[in-house]
Amino acid sequence: MYTIYVLKSKIYSKSYVGITNNLLRRLSQHNAGYHAYTKRWKPWIIIYTEIACHRIEARKREKYLKSAAGRIWLKNLVFKADVAELVYAQP
C-alpha cells in the first residue's frame, strides 16, 4: 500500500507532492534535509494524503497532483476546507 501525500512548509509558501510506503519515515526525512528541494523550505507538515493499493496507481495520482490541473484542484481544496480536515481525506 502506498500513500500519496502533500506537504506544506510551515514558514514559506511552498508545497511538495510525493508518494511513499511509510509516511512518518518520509516526513522525518524531508524535515531532516535528505531531499534537495525540501531541505530548503523545512519544516514541513502533512496537509493531505490519499491511499493507493499499487505503486502504479500512486504514481499516476502523484503526477496528476503535480500537473497544472492538480495544483488548481489542491489549491481549491486547501482554501475551501480546514487543514485538519484534509489529512487522510479521500478525493
Mean pLDDT of 48-69: 95
Answer yes or no: is pLDDT of 83 > 60.
Answer: no
Contact 52, 1 (CB under 8 A): yes
Instruction: Tell me what pLDDT residue 91 has.
Output: 45
Q: What is d(CA 16, CA 73) in angstroms, rounded to the nearest whole number?
A: 14
Instruction: Name, in order, each residue with C-beta under 8 angstroms of 66's C-beta and a sequence gap of 6 or more.
Output: 17
Compute the C-alpha angle 12/32/39, nearest 5°: 40
Instruction: pLDDT band for 90, please (50, 70, 90 cuts).
Output: very low
Instruction: Tell me what pLDDT residue 85 has.
Output: 53
- Percentage of the chain with pLDDT > 90? 65
